[in-house]
Amino acid sequence: MAVNKNFVVKNGLEVDTNTLFVDSANNRVAIGTTVPTAALDVRGKILSDSQVESFVGKFVGIVTAGAVGVTTMTTLDAVVTGFSTLGLANATSLNVTTGFSTVQSLTADDITVSIGATVSKDLNVGGATTVGGALTVTGNAYFNGNVDINGDLTYDEVNARNLNISGIATVGFATVGNMTVAGMTTTSLLNVGFGATMVKVQGTPATRVGINSIGPAYTLDVDGDSNVTGTARQGGASIVTLASAAAVGDATALAIALG
């Protein structure tokens, strides 16, 4: 049947059982149902060979755009309950609580990760950072500002230009250019190199200090000449006094021996 004029239906339209249905009372069009719930209600697959434009889009299932597995999304508010791969995301708040997320590039003001997170490349943090759990750094760590540690600090080796310790410190081995200790320090081995001078402090078999001697045999073992500007004492008595008394005694004994 050919119709050469406008075809007007004022009281609704129904084609087949539910192929096409027009609800004129509520201004709704339905495909696949006779009970439309929106202006356009489609119960089935929609195929379009051109762009589909919408101000608000809500998808409760799986969404694939472009090639299979590739999705480009620009949105102010996106809720993803399943798996998500983000190539580039600009967000003021991004919360990932369940599922698995891979982010290649992210610019956000607030990031909350409730499960484990792995950063394979550089991580730049401009403000304060709080780490509630363990922090493991497999590569080098660089700090341009101060580092404040409230708990224990365990390290294998430290190289410092200026090291100030105001409390109690136990140093197993230290090589520093300048170290100032204001509190109590226990050192098992401390080498201070100024030319051929070496000081060694050890606790076994006894506390000993060696100068130019890496294995002191006495409490103070000096390998070389020593100069004392004050009084050198032995058992509390001046060594000079003891030497003078010994010299007088030797002279008296010699006089007696000679008769």
What would the mean pLDDT of 181-205 be, rounded to a whole number? 63
Q: In the structure, what pLDDT confidence band is assigned to residue 64 with cuts at 50, 70 and 90?
A: low
Which has more confidence, 66 or 55?
55
Distance CA 174, CA 158 (A): 7
Query: What residue spans define the domains of the chain?
Result: 9-43, 74-117, 228-259
> Given pLDDT bands bounded at 50, 70 and 90, which one contains residue 137?
confident
Q: Which helix (H) or strand (E) holds 187?
A: strand 185-187
Check residues 230 and 41 and name the one with the higher pLDDT. Answer: 41
ω before 216 within 30° of 0 (cis)? no
Averaged pLDDT for residues 201-224: 76
pLDDT over 60 (residue 22): yes
Q: What is the pTM of this model?
A: 0.33
Helix or strand run (H / E) with residue 244: helix 239-258
Cβ partners under 8 Å of residue 26, min gap 6:
36
The one-letter amino acid at 112: T
Q: Angle 174-178-179 (CA atoms, 0-180°, nearest 5)?
A: 60
Contact 172, 189 (CB under 8 A): yes
DSSP state of 208: E
Evaluate if residue 195 carries a pLDDT over 80. Answer: no
Looking at per-residue pLDDT, the higher value among 177 and 146 belongs to: 146
Lowest-confidence range among 128-132, 142-146, 212-216, 243-247? 243-247
Indicate the pLDDT class of residue 234, thresholds 50, 70 and 90: confident
Amino acid sitting at position 238: S
**The most confident of 17-26, 45-54, 100-109, 229-238, by mean pLDDT:** 17-26
Q: How far apart are CA 57 and CA 39, in angstroms?
A: 15
Burial label for 200, CB within 10 Å (0-12, 13-18, 19+), is buried
| 3 state SS of 6 | coil
How is residue 196 annotated by DSSP?
A: T
Percent of the chain at pLDDT > 70 equals 72
The reported pLDDT for the residue numbered 173 is: 66
Q: Would you say residue 213 has pLDDT above 90?
A: no
